[in-house]
Amino acid sequence: MPSFQSYFFEKAIKLSVKRSVKKGVRQKNIREQRELLDAAASRMGKLPKNAQAVPLQIEGLYAEWLVPRPSLGNKVILYLHGGGYALCSANTHRPLAARIGKSAGIPVLFPEYRLAPEHPFPAAIEDAVNCYRWLLKQGYSGTDILLAGDSAGGGLSLAAALVLRDQNEPLPAGIVCLSPWVDLTSSGDSYRKNEELDPYLSFKAVREAARMYAGEESLDHPLISPVFADLSGLPPIMIQSGTHEILQSDALMLADKAKRAGVKVSFQEWDGMWHVWQISGSILPEARQAIREMGQFIKRLMKT
């Protein structure tokens, strides 16, 4: 059962979202929305104890090393943030990525890939694949790298792995998907069934973000909606999803499709949890437990 803390936390999120709607936040342009999210994150987000953020450039792309102490320098998590391919940054997701890295005892490479609508599909995939190739050039093998991401970042992790597979490049050791957005056609029943439950996302907002990212391409393109791709040959996948999120169907379909393609899948459905609840960090026991289980999965997979 969901914890006492999560019940009140979810109520608080719903009230906060209602206030932002009344203030017209969603009517602001994309740049203004990004600035508001970054400002809010800078007041709230803190790195876990004994973790350090080190900025760098990867072929002109801003990125950060998030390094927990202690950690294994010969392994790396390539983390791709969520935000509907149009929002968010290192500022909004740095603490979450760093906590996952600390739980696994592995440094995290966090790139700020290009965002829609200025840079629609396939810009984000190109950036993710280029960062992965950059790691290979630094001497990491494919089995030293794990791809991870939340929401759109989960879909992006899968799309990047599909590109690597199809181009016969070394595949990562595994993929971790938090509340993955992998069906931009919104075909699952949870988009309607859970709309009143999900404190963050709405069907309308998700549809608008999908069209913004896809540009002129069809929403069922296998690299835009990886749930429609041939998933055979991919490395093991861990999926975490909540029963209160409108993307619940995406996670369920991904787990089923991957299993039928012969992929090893660890699927966790968390009762009463909402979209990317793991970002709540140390506040919620469910977030702490989810991050611990991610760390254990990554350690087993990368034999650390």
Task: Give the catalytic positions in this structure.
Answer: 151, 245, 275
Phi, psi of 203 (to 5 degrees): -60, -45
Taken as a whole, the chain contains a residue count of 304
Alpha carbon distance 101, 75 (integer Å): 10
Buried b (16+ CB within 10 A) or exposed e, 133-168: bbbeeeebeebbbbbbbbbbbbbbbbbbbbbbbeee
SS3 235: coil
Q: Which two tokens stand for residue 67?
A: 């390094």
Please state, as a whole number, how many other Cβ atoms lie within 10 Å of the Cβ of residue 95: 23
Say how far apart CA 61 and CA 193 lie, in whole Å: 39
- Mapped onto helix, strand or coil, the DSSP state of residue 149 is strand
Token couple for 114: 């290009």
* Rounded (to 5) percent helix, strand, coil in the chain: 45, 15, 40
Place of tokens 């549809």: 207
Q: CB-hemisphere CA count at 13 Å for 17? A: 14
